[in-house]
Structure 1
Amino acid sequence: MDRRKFFKTAALGGASATALAAPALSQGREQLTMVTSWPRGLAGVWDSVERVVNNVADITDGTLTIDAKASGELVGGLQVFDAVSAGQADMYHAADYYFLGQSKALAFFSAVPFGMTVSEYMVWYYAQDGMKLHHELTEIFGLRNFSAGNTGAQGGGWFRNPINSAQDFQGLKFRMPGLGGEVVAKLGASVQVLPASEIYQALSTGAIDGTEWIGPWSDEKLGLQEVAKHYYPAGFHEPATGLQVSVNLDRFNSLSRAHQRAIEVAAAEAHQHNYSLFVANNGPALQRLVAAGVQTHEFTEDVWDAYGAATAEVMEENRSDEFFAQIHDSVLKSMKDTSNWVSKSDGVYTAQRDRVLASL
């Protein structure tokens, strides 16, 4: 069976039936329609969308442009994968762990529990097997994907009541996507995957008891501090969350080599810029949240241990998929090799730097 044809046909049946106009072609100029998983203007993630759009236009001197649509304007935020795979839109901007129903292996290109830091992710993705594996996986679905943003380490979540032990997850209605959601489900939580546009209302009405989103900057803009007062800045589930740009593979192959490279380079630049943007804004935002009455906490060691044990179970269960196991092995080897150097260089330096500066 042609797997790509099968998945493309399946996606067509599941996506919105809205037909999109053919790409604009005029005097060598082309336009791509991008659907996204984000509300328009949402801090951080929409900045990445705009960065990619502007990068492509600048690199190509306007010969390739992108018309970006917010979640719901053409298709829902969680339907963008199917729409692009089916050719109903040219490209999407999202986080690939929203689409684990297509393949659990997609999680590695966004974030997995107890996974890579940003620097480790970049080593694996750009200098080792990451991008190659990303392309091999997404070609099955008729897509060409690139990393195009990174939130850095995400917060452990917002809760109506503090989490004092792992037992507090029993019956908790919690919003968390990706493999992290599978982990907290093992702890007894009732897990929901909601797009950003639905989180505030769900938390304010009690449809959920807690949620993770990104970090202080984006969370503040979403207004989560208005409906929950207990915040955990450190989480286990997303130590470096990649955002993705994906282009329908047939559409990508129809582009000139220069336009293909423009998308690849634009996405890579957006990846590092987006990470810098999140880190620059999270510290001041956290100070504002605390000043407004938000209480910050750290999970207890028994909670961390429970996260770890459940993560090991989730990973082992998913390794029955050959592609998942292959990518998992690649990630583990890369983390080990990178950490072996970074811990002896950067790790020692930063520890000594902090000690020396504290004594001055």
Structure 2
Amino acid sequence: MDRRTFISGLAIAGGTVASACGDMSGSSTSPAAPNINRGVKRLRMVTTWPANFPGLGTAANNVAEYITAASGGALEVRVYAAGEIVSAFEVFDAVADGTADLYHGAEYYWQGKSPAFNFFTAVPLGMTAAEIMGWCEFGGGQQLWDELAGQFNIKPFQAGNSGHQMGGWFKREINTLDDFRGLRMRIPGLGGNVLRELGGAAVTLSGGEIFPALQNGTIDATEWVGPWNDLAFGFYQEAQYYYGPGFHEPGSCLSVGMNRGVWDGLDADHQAIVQAACRAANNVSLAEFTYQNGIALDVLRNEHDVQLRQFTPEMWDRIGEISEQVVADTGRADPFTARVYESYLTAREKMMNWGRISEAAYMAQRERVLGGQ
């Protein structure tokens, strides 16, 4: 593909290059063609994902390819899977200290550094994919995220979204609230806190560790993403009961974090390319997950006899009560997290009011009219 055509494509995919998530939104010009004579700047991206894993690993690959292509090779990004340079949960520190230049991952993995990071991936009963994009782009979320990550020498971007996630894979049916007691489940972030309040034991594992843990009985259940990624990992082989929808991650934002010194050292045109590449990858990711989840769900049901289940209304009522309390407690952890929490709540309320009379109402009527087809 011609580089100028590619840059134009990035601008279209992102709305405009200037409005890509970041701190250059005041600009109204497209990036200038980079001067190749400045030489090649090679960047290393570490990720929390297995190599080339569908949707997650490939979102990281897309960011790297878009940056490299749009810069005419002046920025050359190489992707390293979890474990190739550092382990999955060490990528944040690797970028913060300059061991690597960028990471691709999920911000709630860094909640030990600040609970505010949870709000930039997903929280129970939180924002959908479209809503978290809206908050970051237009509701002040990006500015708060920049301030938060900046404390750790990192510049963050939205760079993928898996959309709504399923409730998880279970080796046994979950029919009552009592069935959560003693349940050992892989579930990170604040969703894990909700499970603990239900009497279960939440375990945090990277993607590559989940299937062996199911297989050897270390865990009884797991959430991961949705049908597309879950099929790829083969969870149906160890747990036949597939519950949805999930309460814990209604629209999970994936992120790129760039070492702040590396970011500040880029020319303005290269900064614009990085921003636009992340935004384009974000849009492509959500589109791909939305389509591929539908295809994979058919395979799981029709070829692997997976049993679809839903949590009961009684469970949802209790999960809802706990979720709001867990998120509120997190939001009060410290003054900065409180600012993030209040901004998040305000944006969620406004977008829920619109969603209630738009997509939610439409989806209910579409299901009523077409659901039997």
State the TM-score, normalizing by the size of structure 1: 0.89
For the residue of structure 1 that corresponds to 2:285, the secondary structure is: helix
Question: By how many angstroms is 1:28 displaced?
Answer: 2.4
Cα displacement (A) at 1:323: 1.7
* In 1, Cα distance between equivalents of 2:195 and 2:364: 33
TM-fit CA distance, 1:358: 7.4
2:167 paired residue number: 156
Within the alignment, does 1:317 sit opposite 2:317 as a pair?
A: no
Residue 227 (structure 2) pairs with residue 216 (structure 1): yes
The within-5 A match list for 1:110-149 is 110-149=121-160
Aligned partner of 1:6 in structure 2 is none
In the other structure, the counterpart of 1:268 is 279
Are the structure 2 counterparts of residues 346 and 162 from structure 1 closer, same or farther at C-alpha, using a change threshold of 3 Å? Answer: closer
Answering whether residue 81 of structure 2 is matched by residue 83 of structure 1, we say no
Residue 301 of structure 1: CA displacement?
1.4
Once residues 370 and 193 of structure 2 are traced to their aligned partners in structure 1, the CA distance between those partners, rounded to angstroms, is 42
Q: Which residue of 1 aligns with 2:237?
A: 226
Aligned residue in 1 for 2:347: 334
- 1:280 equivalent among 279, 286, 291: 291
**2:310 is matched with which residue: 284, 293, 298?**
298
Aligned partner of 2:45 in structure 1 is 34
Q: Would the aligned equivalents of 2:124 and 2:327 in 1 still touch at CA under 8 Å? A: no
Shift in Å, 1:352 = 4.9
Give the direction of change, closer, same or farther, for the CA distance of 1:252–1:42 in structure 2 (3 Å limit): same
Structure 1 counterpart of 2:56: 45
Mean Cα deviation higher: 138-147 or 312-321: 312-321
The structure-2 alpha-carbon separation of the partners of 1:140 and 1:60, relative to structure 1 and needing over 3 Å to count, comes to same
Cα gap change, 1:352/1:294 in structure 2, threshold over 3 Å: closer, same or farther? closer
Partner of 1:282, secondary structure, is: helix
CA separation of 1:167 and 1:347: change in aligned 2, threshold 3 A: closer
Q: Give the distance between the partners of 2:133 and 2:357, measured in 1 at CA.
A: 19
Q: Which amino acid aligns with 1:327?
A: V
Measured in 2, the distance between the counterparts of 1:344 and 1:298 equals 24
1:155/1:215 contact within 8 Å kept? yes
Partner letter of residue 309 of structure 1?
Answer: E
Instruction: Give deviations 1:271-317, integer Å, cap 9, x for gaps.
Output: 11101100101112111111212111000112112211221221232
| Residue of structure 2 aligned with 1:307, choices 304, 319, 335 | 319
Contact 1:215 1:233 in 2 (8 A): no
On the 8 A contact 2:123/2:327 being kept in 1, the answer is: no
SS of structure 1 residue aligned to 2:291 = helix
Whether the 8 Å contact between 1:164 and 1:300 is mirrored in structure 2 is: yes
Following the alignment from structure 2 to structure 1, what is the Cα–Cα distance between the partners of residues 312 and 372?
Answer: 30
State the Cα distance separating 1:343 from its structure 2 match. Answer: 2.7
Matches of 1:149 and 1:71, distance apart in 2: 17
- Mapped to 2, the partners of 1:170 and 1:356 lie a distance apart of 39
**Residue of 171, 181, 193 corresponding to 2:204:** 193
What do the CA deviations read for 1:55-98 (whole angstroms, capped 9, x no partner)? 10122111111110000000000110111111111110001111
Which AA in structure 2 matches 1:326?
R
Asked if the contact 1:97/1:107 (under 8 Å) is kept, the reply is yes
CA change 1:227–1:80 in 2 (3 A) is same
Give CA deviations for 1:184-206 in whole Å, capped at 9, x if unaligned: 01111111100001000000100
Cα distance, 1:177 vs structure 2: 0.6
Residues 187 and 54 of structure 1, relative CA distance in 2, 3 Å threshold: same
| Corresponding position of 1:16 | none
Alignment match, 1:205? 216
Aligned residues: 336
The offset of 1:320, in angstroms, is 2.9
Runs of 5+ unmatched residues, structure 2: 1-35
For the residue of structure 1 that corresponds to 2:357, the secondary structure is: coil
Contact 1:174 1:192 in 2 (8 A): yes
Measured after TM superposition, the shift of residue 350 of structure 1 is 4.6
Paired AA for residue 169 in structure 1? F
User: In the aligned structure 1, how far is the partner of 2:79 from the partner of 2:99?
Assistant: 14
Secondary structure at the counterpart of residue 343 of structure 1: helix
CA distance in 2, matches of 1:243, 1:231: 23
1:238 aligns with 2:249: yes
Structure 1: segments with no counterpart, 5+ residues: 1-24
